[in-house]
């Protein structure tokens, strides 16, 4: 779509004192549309040769700047709309622009509305999972009208998801998002499917199980010269390495009021934020030689907030984890998903007990735990060492 500034666009003869509105002319597919600017000029103050406000006007600079800003705003909107190549800014898009997208529903809210309508025919676990997904989408793709979701948004969403989740989880999330993209298209809320042009990793297998060794965790524990904010971020990450907490539970669900104490130390009784996993019971002193309890004791009375750790932005935490990895000379991309895998892997190597792992990690399917147990060579060796010298032939 091409745009231009026009004056006296109806080509009427105006009296010198009669004002005419400056408009933005939009040309598309051999047709014209006009957008009001709300700026009115007398004919004597409009320079037809330069198609701009005459310097004779007492507010020449202010009015010229206002007109230019309105055109630049429209041009930038058209560019942002079309820059991915999968959408064309036509007159329908122009009408939405003129309304300021006030009648266009945000994508995350659209999903919630669809879920509400389908709730009766959906099992509770699926409903809770989809509702949680909509919350994640609202965080990573905020204030995005359905009609403006583009390939760039999908690529950015995929990139940000991979900072927090395993490849298999990201692939499933993309399948979920595309399902509702197609629903939006069917309801004429979106014109094209950005996933048709997306080049994403769609692997839905087990995904990478990158984990930290005890030596690498120790290297993180020994980092020095951190600011109080950085130390809190590091302690938060280490706590997840020793408890397997997801970042959502670590930030939002790990509250002080769910922590109790008995003669064997602090106990966390946590209902996972995902809602469809098991509740977690963590006797902190009995886990990894009490390291998670030592971390918890540092913070439980150190601030007035409801959560164990002071509130911090998850994007800032994820960015800081890259710095921690560099400082500790760990050649791995540190995420809270890595922390969770580290906990599961260490539990498998040390305990070889899938049922204990289920209780700590919050899994309902023992096959997930068995995948870690079977993959643990060191755990198998540790068990066999008990029988050294006891083999009879």
Farthest-apart Cα atoms in the chain, separation: 116
Coil, strand, or helix at residue 279?
Answer: coil
Give the C-alpha separation, 286 to 261, whole Å.
12
Sole residue written with tokens 């999972």: 129
- β-pairing verdict for 280-283 and 265-270: antiparallel
Give the C-alpha separation, 45 to 51, whole Å.
11
Supply the mean pLDDT for the chain.
84
> CATH 1.10.443.10 occupies which residues in the chain?
214-385
Closest by alpha carbon to 344, among 166, 158, 133, 171?
A: 166
Q: Which CATH class is domain 107-196?
A: mainly alpha
**Above pLDDT 90, what percent of the chain?**
31
Closest by alpha carbon to 216, among 337, 298, 338, 372?
A: 338
Give the C-alpha separation, 386 to 164, whole Å.
39
* Contact indicator for 362, 279 with CB cutoff of 8 Å: yes
Confidence at 222, pLDDT banded by 50, 70, 90: very high
pLDDT for 102 equals 47
In DSSP notation, 214-263 reads: HHHHHHHHT--S--HHHHHHHHHHHHHHHH---HHIIIII-BGGGEEEET
Is 233 a residue whose pLDDT tops 50?
yes
Is 44 a residue whose pLDDT tops 90?
no
Q: What is the pTM of this model?
A: 0.53
Coil, strand, or helix at residue 120?
Answer: helix
> CATH 1.10.150 occupies which residues in the chain?
107-196
Is 277 a residue whose pLDDT tops 60?
no
Contacts for 269 with CB less than 8 Å, ≥ 6 apart: 258, 260, 279, 280, 281
| Model pLDDT for residues 121-153, shown as the tens digit of each residue | 777 777 888 888 888 888 888 877 887 788 888
Contacts for 200 with CB less than 8 Å, ≥ 6 apart: 154, 155, 158, 171, 174
Contacts 24+ apart (CB under 8 A), 310-317: 310/232, 311/251, 312/229, 312/232, 312/233, 312/236, 312/251, 314/164, 314/247, 314/251, 316/233, 317/233, 317/236, 317/237, 317/247
pLDDT for 344 equals 92
Q: Which helix (H) or strand (E) holds 265?
A: strand 265-270
What does the pLDDT average to over 305-312? 94
Give the C-alpha separation, 224 to 221, whole Å.
9
Alpha helices in 49-148 (DSSP H): 60-82, 91-99, 107-118, 124-140
| Model pLDDT for residues 332-391, shown as the tens digit of each residue | 889 998 999 999 999 988 888 899 999 899 888 888 888 887 666 666 777 777 777 777
* Contact indicator for 321, 237 with CB cutoff of 8 Å: yes
Confidence at 216, pLDDT banded by 50, 70, 90: very high
Closest by alpha carbon to 314, among 231, 242, 238, 252?
A: 252
pLDDT for 342 equals 94
More confident site: 250 or 96: 250
Architecture of domain 214-385: Orthogonal Bundle (1.10)
- Report residue 140 as tokens: 């990573």
- Report residue 218 as tokens: 């120790």
Q: Is 258 exposed, middle or buried (0-12, 13-18, 19+ CB in 10 A)?
A: middle
Work out the number of other CB atoms within 10 angstroms of the CB of residue 29. 8
Out of 78-82, 151-155, 193-197, 297-301, give the one with best mean pLDDT: 297-301
Contacts for 256 with CB less than 8 Å, ≥ 6 apart: 300, 306, 307, 308
Q: Out of 37-46, 60-69, 265-274, 303-312, pick the least confident.
A: 265-274
**Cα angle 309-313-316, degrees, rounded to a multiple of 5:** 110
């Amino acid at each position: 779509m091409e745009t231009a500034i026009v004056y006296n666009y109806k080509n009427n003869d105006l009296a010198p004192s009669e004002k005419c509105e400056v408009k933005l002319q939009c040309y598309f597919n051999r047709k014209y549309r006009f957008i009001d600017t709300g700026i009115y000029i007398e004919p004597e103050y409009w320079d037809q040769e330069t198609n701009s406000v005459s310097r004779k006007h007492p507010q020449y600079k202010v009015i010229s700047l206002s007109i230019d800003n309105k055109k630049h705003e429209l041009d930038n909107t058209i560019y942002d709309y079309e820059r991915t190549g999968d959408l064309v800014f036509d007159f329908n898009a122009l009408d939405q622009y003129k309304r300021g997208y006030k009648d266009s529903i945000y994508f995350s809210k659209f999903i919630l509305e669809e879920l509400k309508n389908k709730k009766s025919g959906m099992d509770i676990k699926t409903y809770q999972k989809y509702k949680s997904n909509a919350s994640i989408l609202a965080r990573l793709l905020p204030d995005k009208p359905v009609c403006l979701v583009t390939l760039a948004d999908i690529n950015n969403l995929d990139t940000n998801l991979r900072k927090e989740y395993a490849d298999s989880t990201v692939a499933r999330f993309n399948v979920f998002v595309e399902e509702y993209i197609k629903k939006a298209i069917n309801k004429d809320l979106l014109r094209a499917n950005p996933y048709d042009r997306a080049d994403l990793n769609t692997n839905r297998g087990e995904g990478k199980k990158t984990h930290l060794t005890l030596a690498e965790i120790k290297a993180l524990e020994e980092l020095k010269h951190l600011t109080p904010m950085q130390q809190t971020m590091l302690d938060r990450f280490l706590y997840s390495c020793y408890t397997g907490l997801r970042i959502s539970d670590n930030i939002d669900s790990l509250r002080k009021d769910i922590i109790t104490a008995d003669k064997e130390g602090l106990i966390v009784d946590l209902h996972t934020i995902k809602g469809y996993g098991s509740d977690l019971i963590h006797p902190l002193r009995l886990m990894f030689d009490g390291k998670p309890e030592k971390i918890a004791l540092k913070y439980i009375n150190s601030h007035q907030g409801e959560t164990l750790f002071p509130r911090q932005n998850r994007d800032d935490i994820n960015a800081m984890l890259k710095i921690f990895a560099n400082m500790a000379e760990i050649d791995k991309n540190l995420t809270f998903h890595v922390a969770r895998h580290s906990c599961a892997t260490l539990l498998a190597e040390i305990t070889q007990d899938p049922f204990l792992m289920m209780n700590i990690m919050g899994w309902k399917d023992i096959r997930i735990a068995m995948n870690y147990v079977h993959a643990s060579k060191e755990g198998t060796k540790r068990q066999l060492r008990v029988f050294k010298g006891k083999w009879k032939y």
